Structure 1
């Protein structure tokens, strides 16, 4: 499932470039009068919902990986879900043990070349029984991993009818199962590579679409992409790198939602409108970047933090980085991982640990509240995500995506707050600044997040 793409619109996973790593230093916070003018309100999202979106690819106990080590790594990083499947013959007991030890759940799929739906559902029932199942997933990259279904070869440069029929049958099998129908079905990935127009650019083929598969054919509940933020169609690193990769429209410079569900990148088959793409349910099951002479561990680590934030902010429900630990059974540059082959952590693992520790919260039933704030003259390379914990604390995450230099910003709050803490996950889990009785915070933002706790 992790071969390099071979088609012109596909992604080559080892493409990388350059990004600045200017250190970010919070500036002094300004005190303003109690009667300052009210600022616009924004409703927070649960911190636990964001944390639940953070995923990774892992073979768990196969391909040279150790179950005990995988448990240790998942606990440290705070990653909440793993993309896996029956493809690698991971023992059912290992899935269950990992879940019991860490709480991690699994997207469980056919993956590369798998067609045995009956087997997939049998394994899924075991995961469901212990609360470890997150979703079903279709085929992995059929443009690289073609297969035969019901006696017909498909995928790659051949017809994609067998690919479409398998995805249709998977969806029907899940939704016809009394136990498993409650789970979402994620689509196959790289459907933008379909040769003939079998309608895989739709979750459900609309009336009059003119596709080879019939109108009304249902494939999935969520669109699925491998929108690697470094891509041959736009190589190197640039401002708003991960923000752009998460863009649902044609402005996305990489292998994103539009090229797979708007107008397919290979056959130019028309799918959803730009307006429809804004609200299309979607997930990312692979993304990441390798190390090169130009991109070191520091740059990779900061990009990974920005990645999870950008994806969630732009309505990707779940995002999985490729990989947890570097592959040892593949050729080429295998340095995507949070961990090296000897299980020593890269900075990406440390920074993610810091972020998830600062934001740590358990799922609970509560209604999020509004916070009054404004980022004054917000630059195009600065983004924010307003979260709230179950204890009532707001966590205003502000991150920059500027390759070089910094942006001086001011966050104005609607009133004076008795206590505000500022965290920098590239420095640790403790507050880097504690402020009393202030209604604004100034920051120097470049290429990673800060968390303002209110």
Structure 2
């Protein structure tokens, strides 16, 4: 990657700039961003928890997602690696589920609890009643009533428990397939929704979507990750709009377009197959880095990649590790990325900082993170499928101790400067991280 630092102090004109650009952008604590990163494992399916220790330590992600397995395994992984678990609740016995969650929470190993996983593909049984499936054209539509009853009861059980009440509940995934119109598209059913369950029924704290970055058409296009994270896009990706706006299965209505971008939401599955999707390991790695960034920038609280290792979740090759636990390029890129950003501490009151990116096209995106009181990471990423572009970052005054990193190359800076107020970057298909110190004015 070509990169040039221009060591000149050029003032930025204020006239004609939006008010927020003049005031600067409030940085996001780097710790908050790192806390959003997750990955799926399959300890519940019988994989030894110990086999995940080395990969999780190397990746540096902070959260795991799994079906409901032996709770001791998640406590062990928390002690060994620091990760917390989002667990898909079992509908077999809600009482046992709650007790298991309490066990995990007592050791601070619990992140959240999730409703049923894709009931359109994996129907559940609750209190002797089966719910889920999908049928649109012929015969009687599948009935999700048992799914809605379980999700309602799960939410109430968690929130009424003194130990568990503080933990978030994620909604059922793939609710775009529900029938009849039970109201699962909402966190809490509003008045006038005309759903089977009454207004005021609460299901979750976060909507839960499987907006796979690979998309429904298996293409590789500019802004692949940015589009997958779009809360309003309704073509090419199985996204928020089709599950919680106008539902893809039967056209039921949910949140309006003005509401969707602001509703609390998580992604518990997204991924890229290193064999069947375009570009092999290289593109898998760059797309997944972009995915973590685009998801956070567009308002998703947590993002879980599917998955950690091949051979544990069907016949695909979406793991960032091979079946023999050797790392793919994606694992190295994620390791480099989290390692670079790990130079941080808790930031109670993030600062504003002014900068401007010039000559950027619609495939260039940015995220300003604050690592320490005067230290920032400006992450700028491109989402081009080919070629690249020169962009220039301009700042109103000089910053110091500048370090430029490319996580696809390693954890050492690729260029440094003592002071500068201009940076020229060549952006292609992945993030560049600019670390710098800016003294408070």
Task: Settle same-fold status: TM greater than 0.5.
Answer: yes
The offset of 1:418, in angstroms, is: 2.9
Query: What's the counterpart of residue 262 of structure 2?
Result: 279
Of the three residues 374, 378, 381, the one matched with 1:392 is 374
Q: Does 1:243 align with 2:226?
A: yes
2:11 is aligned with 1:27: no
Give distance in 2, aligned partners of 1:250 and 1:37: 35
Matched, 1:105 2:84: yes
Single out whichever of 420-429 and 289-298 deviates more from structure 2.
289-298
Partner of 2:66: 84
What residue number does 2:295 align with? 311
SS of 1:94's equivalent in the other structure is helix
- Contact residue 146 and residue 153 of structure 1 kept, 8 A: yes
Q: CA deviation at 1:223?
A: 0.2
2:33 pairs, out of 39, 43, 50, with 50
Q: 1:279 to 1:252 in 2, by over 3 A?
A: farther
Deviation (angstroms), 1:115:
3.5
Partner of 2:252: 269
Matched-pair contact (CA < 8 Å) for 1:185–1:220: yes
Kept in 2: contact 1:245–1:252 (CA 8 A): no
The CA distance in 1 between the partners of 2:423 and 2:11, in whole Å, is 17
Q: 1:438 to 1:361 in 2, by over 3 A?
A: closer
Which residue matches 1:20? none
Kindly indicate whether the alpha-carbon contact (under 8 Å) linking 1:197 and 1:211 is maintained by their aligned counterparts in 2. Answer: yes
Give me the CA root mean square deviation.
Answer: 1.7
Given the alignment, which residue of 106, 115, 118 partners 1:138? Answer: 115
Q: Hey, what does 1:161 align to over in structure 2? A: 145
Instruction: Please say if residues 10 and 396 of structure 2, whose CA atoms lie closer than 8 Å, have aligned partners that are also in contact.
Output: no
Distance in 1 (CA, whole Å) between partners of 2:385 and 2:151 is 40
Q: Please report how far the alpha carbon of residue 377 of structure 1 lies from its aligned counterpart in structure 2 after TM superposition.
A: 3.4
Would you say the 8 A contact 1:48–1:361 is kept in 2?
Answer: no
| CA displacement at 1:275 relative to structure 2 | 1.0
Secondary structure of the equivalent of 1:440?
strand
* Deviation, structure 1 residue 326: 1.1
> Larger deviation: 355-364 or 252-261?
355-364
Whole-angstrom distance in 1 between the partners of 2:337 and 2:74: 26
Corresponding pairs, count:
421
1:419 and 2:396 are equivalent in the alignment: no
Deviations 1:265-289 (A, max 9, x none): 0111000011111110000000101
Q: Report the alpha carbon displacement of residue 94 of structure 1 after superposing the two structures with TM.
A: 1.7
Relative to 1, partners in 2 of residues 1:451 and 1:281: Cα closer, same or farther, differing over 3 Å? Answer: same
The alignment's TM-score, normalised by the length of structure 1, stands at 0.89
Runs of 5+ unmatched residues, structure 2 = 15-20, 135-141, 437-441
> Deviation of residue 405 (structure 1)?
0.8
How far is 1:336 from its partner? 0.5
Structure 1 residue 372 displacement after superposition: 1.2
Q: Pick one of 94, 100, 104 that aligns with 1:127.
A: 104
C-alpha distance in 2 between matches for 1:448 and 1:336: 19
236, 239, 242: which is aligned to 1:259?
Answer: 242
Tell me how far apart the structure 2 counterparts of residues 98 and 115 of structure 1 sit (CA, whole Å): 25
Tell me the distance in 2 between the aligned counterparts of 1:392 and 1:124.
39
Q: Which region of structure 1 is more displaced relative to structure 2, 150-159 or 270-279? A: 150-159
Point out which structure has higher relative CO (alpha carbons under 8 A, 6+ apart).
1
- 8 Å CA contact retained: 1:110, 1:116: no
Whole-angstrom distance in 1 between the partners of 2:110 and 2:347: 21
Runs of at least 4 residues of structure 1 off by over 6 A? none
Query: 1:124 and 1:211 mapped to 2: Cα distance?
Result: 31
For residues 30 and 148 of structure 1, the distance between their equivalents in structure 2, rounded to whole angstroms, comes to 64
* Counterpart position of 1:19: none
CA distance in 2, matches of 1:356, 1:308: 11
